[in-house]
Structure 1
Amino acid sequence: MKKNALLSFPKKKLLHIFLMPSSFKTGLIICFISLFLLLRHYSLPKNALDLVGQLERELYDIRFKIRGPIKMSGTVGALTADDKSIEKFGRWPFSRGIYEKVFQNLKKAGVKWIGFDVFFSEPQRRFLDESIIDLKQIYQEKNFGARLQELMLTSPGDFSLGKAIDEFGTITQGFYFIDHKFHLENSQYDWLASFRRLKNSSIDFIDFPSGKKLKDYKDLLSYGVVTNTEIIAGKSRYVGFANNQSDSDGLIRKAGLVKAIEPTDDKGNALAPPIVVPSLALSLAANYLESGIVVHFDAVGIDGIDLYPSDNKKPQLKLPLFYDGQGKLLINHYGEFGRLPQLSLQDAYENKIPKNVPPILVYGGTATGTNDKRPSPFDENFDGVGHHVAVIENILTQNFMKRPLSAPVLEIALLVLSGIIFSYILKKINAIKSAIFVLIFMTSFYFIDSYFLFGKGNWYYVGMFYVQSISIYFGITIFKYFTEEREKKKVKSAFQFYLNPAVINQLMEQPDKLKLGGEKKNLTVFFSDVRGFTTISESLTPEKLTVLLNEYFTPMTKIILDSNGLLDKYIGDAVMAVWGAPIPIEDHPDRAVQSSLKMLDELEILQKKWAQEGLPFLDIGIGLNTGDMVVGNMGSDQRFDYTVLGDAVNLGARLEGINKNYGTRIICSEFTKNSLKNPEKFLLRELDNIQVKGKNEPVRIYEVMRFPEADKEKIKDLIRIYEEGLSLYRSQKWDEAIAQFRNALKIKAEDYPSKEFIERCNYLKNEGLDKNWNGVWVFKTK
């Protein structure tokens, strides 16, 4: 379109086209809304949770359950304070004196590392039997009160546990941090002393952006820690926080790997420079791998955590962090807690340790009443110690669950592409096919996600894709029901008496073809007319005439519709039909010719019936022509008919009437004959080369021969002899032509075309013809 034409295009009409509702636009609107919700979710603060986040989180859990448990390597397991340990050692927490024997047995069994998800932040109260000897000793001392207070603050169990930890050598003690300053107010706990116990285990290798330091990352700072007592902690270099940070719904899906600690007093004043410490799981994994920990920061928060082997012989391990800047790892859970490798504390105490005991054990309470239930996607009653086990296993086996950095781009692309594809395809097919298409597409994507995405440890958002797909299906289906389905009913109502139901169903898929106007197409038009209808109508009452015509029209119409033709109209006693519209048909000339022959067969049956009933003899003539014609809805906006117009249509109507001149019943033009896809199925003979009234160009016409199969060879001889006579006629060899036509009559006595040409030859041989006469017979009347 030229620029001037574009500028002159009515703006209101352009706006109308843009705003005009359609099923495709309905799908695109749903796609836009889905995309908006997803982009909004990406832009929310880290801890905010909207409907998209909730949906994706629920589907994340469901996919774990569908995937099912996976086998662990056996390198790490849980040392459990279970119910039978309660029966053995009594109340929880147990006396600290039991652990020395437990650790000795475990070390002999080959356990390399033990992590504590149990805290000893207060001195153990002495039992009376532990104090008798000491009481006797200090009874005689003058400072009995002070010595008694000192005695109460110490316990043989604490000394025993501290000694056992030192002797085992590779025990990582757990602690927990305090996130909020108000928890520190009016507290008598010695936060600074507890903080100092972490100095030996802090991470020294920290990579900051230029100009940044740890104090600048306020969102990452915690303000207090609770550690084991001084006697138990000793000078251990192995400490890690054991906080299990759940999501807002209480499930634990991620694990923090490092934490920045800045101790403060009860007024919020910093007591020491901040440090970075590892989690219990990260500390155990790094120490088992003999690797150092390096934490990388970017402008927002923690950008990466790497493990560097101390001997530089093993490759560096980059941990795939969840990109919230908090240094968290998505936990690739292995199943319900009962599926994790476990060793009861009682069995360890009694030295009932299996030979395949894991070299790393994490000790935690699992007995009823220990109150350490931390739900996972697999198990609502999952014990907290199991999360540490899973994280260590993830790191050691590098079997991670990741949220790739490219995920948002791919998720957006999936929404946009699927939205466009679904909207385009679903607008073209019906509700059942749409449902099947959507179901197949979603099922295929489910298997791709199960085996190649989530199944390979990659978490991509799929919830909005499923929601969008279902919404587009229902949105387009409902829209089509209230709008396009109404148009289809209009199509069906308009064409149910003129088209085969199968053709109507195809047309209903494209109801826009019913708009006012037409298009040029190559079609075959059909006209039939009852011979002597005026005389017949005069001999019958209107009621009997109506019955007769209805009985005639019914089988004729059925033949047209069964061949996927269009019944254009009834014109009194005449029938007009078209093949090739509104639905394209490649072999429309063949169908028109075959239908014409079937009509004569059906008419013959009716003629016998009418003869028995004493009704008049009724015969028909048929004209067929193939060519370009305009087809469409012709009329006004208020009322229109689906029909065909053009010279090719007019010629078909003329050919029907010309049957009377030749005594034939079916005449087709040369255009129909030459367009036949399977001409061998029919026998056609050239009748003449004529010029009809209103046309300047001559056209060759052919009779479609109807005959019993047994007479086929005889009819072929008739055609051959007749066409030889026609050739002699055009050469103005009148007598020779007459002789040939008479030979044709010997084969078929009532061959009216031969009789017509005998009369014509007798007439023309007495006429003075122009020497340029070309054999064209001109009809002066219709």
Structure 2
Amino acid sequence: MQSRLLHLFRRHARRTAVTLIPLAFALLHISGALHLQVLERLENIIYDTRLRATMPRTLDERIVIVDIDEKSLDRVGHWPWGRDKLAALTQELFERQQVALVGFDVLFAEADGSSGLANLERLAKGPLRAQTGFKEQLARLAPTLDYDALFAQALQGRPAVLGYYFTSDRDGRTKGVLPPPALPTERLRGLPLRATSWGGYGSNIEKLANAVPAAGFFNSVTDDDGVVRSLPLLAEHQGKYYESLALAMFRTLLGLPEVHPNYVSAAPQGTHDTLHSIVLRQHGRELALPVDDRLATLIPFRGPGDVSGGSFRYVSASDVLEGKLPANNLQGQLILVGSTTPGLLDLRVTPVGRTYPGVETHANMLSAFLDGKSIVRPDYAVGFDAAQLLCAGVLLALALPALSATYAVLLSLGVVAALAGLNLWLYLAQGLAMPLATVIVMAVLAFALNMVYGYFVESRSKRELAALFGTYVPPELVDEMVKQPENYSMQATSRELTVMFCDMRGFTAMSEQMEPLQLQALLNDVFSQLTHIIRSHRGTIDKYMGDCVMAFWGAPVPTAEHAQLAVQAALDMERAVEQINLLHRERGLPEIGIGIGLNTGTMCVGDMGSDIRRSYTVIGDAVNLGSRLEGLSKHYGVRTVVSETTHSQVPQFAWQELDRVRVKGKAQAVVIYTPMSPLDTLSPARASEISTWQHFLAAYRAQDWTQCGTLLTDLLHNAPHSSLYGLYANRVQALRGQPFDPGWDSATSFDTK
């Protein structure tokens, strides 16, 4: 098995190398040495498609979005609203609706001066400072006109979370007050974490920031194609790590557990540490939230988004302010206050919508936290990608060159389906967004290059091979040859083969009696039948020479049983001629005879000839002997004459030895035979006749003419018309009067071809 695989590899080494080219480029891409932007775009397309296909599209009744929508702006007024209205909104949510948590996806970076309190205070210190009772009235009214204080009072002591944002301002401009870091530096190992880093921020005024237990940033991560697919859970600013709005709300809901790092490696690596997850710890209990190398997680969108998306319930902020909702209608629910109004610029491009409300991205993250589900691209994604590339690439490179086009398509589709299935399972069952685009493109390109190489290079050589050998070799042998075209060529080689010469008897007489066209048709018909028999026994047609056909076995496709196939072909050709003669007698046409000579030996086979005309043929002494044997068939009165080398390789046939002969051009005598039939079909009478004949030959070579005469009498009695027995009867008669010759080898010499 191992040697066979090694042979296949060597045979298809070039095609395998070509198939490995996409793998090499793919590995360069994922290593960062070669940046192929098209693969990154395709990866995003695959991720977005998979996300949309697997979204639950169900309503999460735990989370409600209080929407500052067009209706609210129309009824309450343009944004920003006075903080007194926000205080009233907060009071309504906590007191009358009994909600569990409120998060604000809006920013309160400026003090609210809409009440005019600041102007009144300036008047009290200026033009109206002498006005009797003005200061006293202002002191009584101030608490009701300090809208920021009213809002802060409404938030105080309640599970409310404010939002803010970070900026990448080079000047590091800041505004408002940041909350305490969620992950203090003393919980780190002395190295900064790999995280999204920001230079500036815009946060809430101090009075409001101090009134809430937590605040979180509402920044998202925009990919290179402008699409928001993930939200960072932690972000870095001046060496400190702050939490997102969704994480702040989730921690507030849990009672603000501590945030701890869960490192990828046991010891710091390089200049930064990398986290596998962040861990929330409280009262001995832990909850891990997986993150990627940016301390972010992919947003597990529930549906297409917006009021009609069906993922979350939307309530108009004006309806809450005006008390239109029944009491306790939102009891126990988690509230996110945000806006879907285009004018407030909180719409984002996401995989599930081009104008997706930013507030709903945080709702999706909060929903995932509550369900204990997340989607993350882990730190080992590159290693996983390299592993699947190597497995798929090597498999295709080794297997595709050895497969037919149909099986190559099936294998490639199977590999792609297996990779896609594994990727989908990891996504759905493990929450892992593993790369897929690169390996899919690699597999497709590997298949395409393999097919192109096979068609334009290997198929061309196969077509050339078929064109070269198609007129000589049976189609089934050509089919075998094109499977390994590199093993066959027209170059001359020496090997053991079996050659056949078949001559048509009576051709001269027929040419005198028949019209040329009639003779041509008869000759073509006979040669067609004989050629079909030769090719059906894996023989190669060498050439047609007038009324003679020459063929050989064992080349170009090596065949161990070439001698047996040639003998069987000769016997089938004899029977075919008998059938042809039956038809000729019925049609009044002249009968034909054939003489066949077979010899096995070492011959030179290859493309030979001149610059003008060449052919695939055999030459050599063994070929010449085959030709001489064909000429002896008429002399011995048999149809087929076979040399002793051919006879020795076909023991499964019954043979009748003919003679020892010394043909022209050969000093050494050879024994010749004629095939009778397969041993298992030989009749007892025929077997007895052959046995008697062997005794005769022994007596003949011993020069025992009396015994020869006795045995010949028996043979001629059973076969009175045998030309062979008649030939030897004449020889015995001529030799009877000669003295015993101790140097006689009984060989018959022939001086003509």
TM-score grouping bracket, smaller chain normalisation: 0.7 to 0.9
Q: What do the CA deviations read for 1:319-358 (whole angstroms, capped 9, x no partner)?
A: 3423xxx333344444433363546467987257789x88
Cα distance between partner residues in 1 of 2:638 and 2:438: 70
Cα distance between partner residues in 2 of 1:149 and 1:39: 73
Q: Which amino acid aligns with 1:685?
A: W
Cα distance between partner residues in 1 of 2:561 and 2:229: 65
Cα distance between partner residues in 1 of 2:33 and 2:24: 15
Cα distance between partner residues in 2 of 1:773 and 1:75: 118
**Contact preservation (8 Å) 1:690, 1:779:** no
Q: Which amino acid aligns with 1:319?
A: P
Task: State the aligned residue count.
Answer: 716
Q: Which amino acid aligns with 1:79?
A: I
Cα distance between partner residues in 2 of 1:361 and 1:522: 93
Q: What do the CA deviations read for 1:691-715 (whole angstroms, capped 9, x no partner)?
A: 55437585563414499xxxx9784
**Contact preservation (8 Å) 1:26, 1:472:** no
**Contact preservation (8 Å) 2:481, 2:488:** no
The structure-2 alpha-carbon separation of the partners of 1:345 and 1:200, relative to structure 1 and needing over 3 Å to count, comes to: farther
Q: What do the CA deviations read for 1:6-38 (whole angstroms, capped 9, x no partner)?
A: xxxxxxxxxxxxxxxx99657745744663465
Q: Which amino acid aligns with 1:115?
A: G
Q: Which amino acid aligns with 2:67?
A: A
Cα distance between partner residues in 2 of 1:563 and 1:781: 31
Q: What is residue 293 of structure 1 aligned with on the other side?
A: 259
Q: Which amino acid aligns with 1:81?
A: D
Cα distance between partner residues in 1 of 2:337 and 2:737: 128
Q: What is residue 7 of structure 1 aligned with on the other side?
A: none
Q: What is residue 161 of structure 2 aligned with on the other side?
A: 172
Equivalent residue of 1:449, what SS?
helix
The structure-2 alpha-carbon separation of the partners of 1:102 and 1:704, relative to structure 1 and needing over 3 Å to count, comes to: farther
- 1:39 equivalent in alignment to 2:10: no
**Contact preservation (8 Å) 2:107, 2:163:** yes
Q: What do the CA deviations read for 1:128-161 (whole angstroms, capped 9, x no partner)?
A: 9x99x99999998758799989989986765454
Pairing of 1:542-581 with structure 2 (within 5 A): 545-581=519-555
- 1:54 equivalent in alignment to 2:44: no
2:104 paired residue among 104, 116, 131: 116
Cα distance between partner residues in 2 of 1:772 and 1:353: 133
- 1:701 equivalent in alignment to 2:673: yes
Q: Which amino acid aligns with 2:153?
A: K
Equivalent residue of 1:575, what SS?
strand
- 1:69 equivalent in alignment to 2:55: yes
- 1:246 equivalent in alignment to 2:237: no
Pairing of 1:134-173 with structure 2 (within 5 A): 142=130, 158-168=148-158, 170-173=159-162
The structure-2 alpha-carbon separation of the partners of 1:234 and 1:638, relative to structure 1 and needing over 3 Å to count, comes to: farther
Cα distance between partner residues in 2 of 1:549 and 1:472: 54
- 1:496 equivalent in alignment to 2:470: yes
Cα distance between partner residues in 2 of 1:643 and 1:402: 70
1:328 paired residue among 285, 296, 304: 296
- 1:276 equivalent in alignment to 2:210: no
**Contact preservation (8 Å) 2:72, 2:316:** no
Once the 2 structures are TM-superposed, how far is the Cα of residue 552 of structure 1 from its aligned partner? 2.5
- 1:236 equivalent in alignment to 2:206: no
The structure-2 alpha-carbon separation of the partners of 1:368 and 1:86, relative to structure 1 and needing over 3 Å to count, comes to: farther
1:662 paired residue among 633, 636, 647: 636
Equivalent residue of 1:578, what SS?
strand
**Contact preservation (8 Å) 2:157, 2:212:** no
1:100 paired residue among 54, 78, 91: 91
2:281 paired residue among 307, 310, 325: 310
Cα distance between partner residues in 2 of 1:359 and 1:771: 127
Cα distance between partner residues in 2 of 1:166 and 1:522: 104
1:261 paired residue among 217, 237, 243: 237
The structure-2 alpha-carbon separation of the partners of 1:600 and 1:330, relative to structure 1 and needing over 3 Å to count, comes to: same
**Contact preservation (8 Å) 2:48, 2:351:** yes
Q: What do the CA deviations read for 1:253-303 (whole angstroms, capped 9, x no partner)?
A: 2322222224xxxxxxxxxxx532112233344555664223468544451
Once the 2 structures are TM-superposed, how far is the Cα of residue 378 of structure 1 from its aligned partner? 3.5
1:722 paired residue among 690, 695, 709: 690
Q: Which amino acid aligns with 2:288?
A: L
Q: Which amino acid aligns with 2:94?
A: F
- 1:387 equivalent in alignment to 2:361: yes
Equivalent residue of 1:253, what SS?
strand
Equivalent residue of 1:517, what SS?
coil
Q: Which amino acid aligns with 2:505?
A: R
The structure-2 alpha-carbon separation of the partners of 1:726 and 1:315, relative to structure 1 and needing over 3 Å to count, comes to: farther
Q: Which amino acid aligns with 1:321?
A: D
TM-score after normalising by structure 2? 0.77
* Greater Cα offset, 770-779 or 359-368: 770-779
Equivalent residue of 2:591, what SS?
coil
* Greater Cα offset, 603-612 or 721-730: 603-612
Stretches of structure 2 that go unaligned for 5 or more consecutive residues are 1-10
**Contact preservation (8 Å) 2:231, 2:296:** yes
TM-score after normalising by structure 1? 0.75
Q: Which amino acid aligns with 2:92?
A: K
Q: Which amino acid aligns with 1:280?
A: L
Once the 2 structures are TM-superposed, how far is the Cα of residue 775 of structure 1 from its aligned partner? 7.8
1:684 paired residue among 638, 654, 657: 654
2:65 paired residue among 79, 86, 91: 79
Equivalent residue of 1:62, what SS?
helix
Cα distance between partner residues in 2 of 1:646 and 1:421: 48
**Contact preservation (8 Å) 1:722, 1:740:** no
Cα distance between partner residues in 2 of 1:381 and 1:419: 40
Q: What do the CA deviations read for 1:432-454 (whole angstroms, capped 9, x no partner)?
A: 66545434443343334333578
Q: Which amino acid aligns with 2:698?
A: R
Stretches of structure 1 that go unaligned for 5 or more consecutive residues are 1-21, 185-190, 263-273
Once the 2 structures are TM-superposed, how far is the Cα of residue 311 of structure 1 from its aligned partner? 4.5
Cα distance between partner residues in 1 of 2:187 and 2:441: 43
* Greater Cα offset, 170-179 or 284-293: 284-293
Cα distance between partner residues in 2 of 1:569 and 1:630: 16
Once the 2 structures are TM-superposed, how far is the Cα of residue 177 of structure 1 from its aligned partner? 0.9
**Contact preservation (8 Å) 2:97, 2:327:** no
2:184 paired residue among 179, 185, 203: 203
Cα distance between partner residues in 2 of 1:276 and 1:394: 22
Equivalent residue of 2:348, what SS?
coil
RMSD: 5.0
Cα distance between partner residues in 1 of 2:333 and 2:396: 53
Q: Which amino acid aligns with 2:188?
A: D
Identical aligned residues as a percent: 24
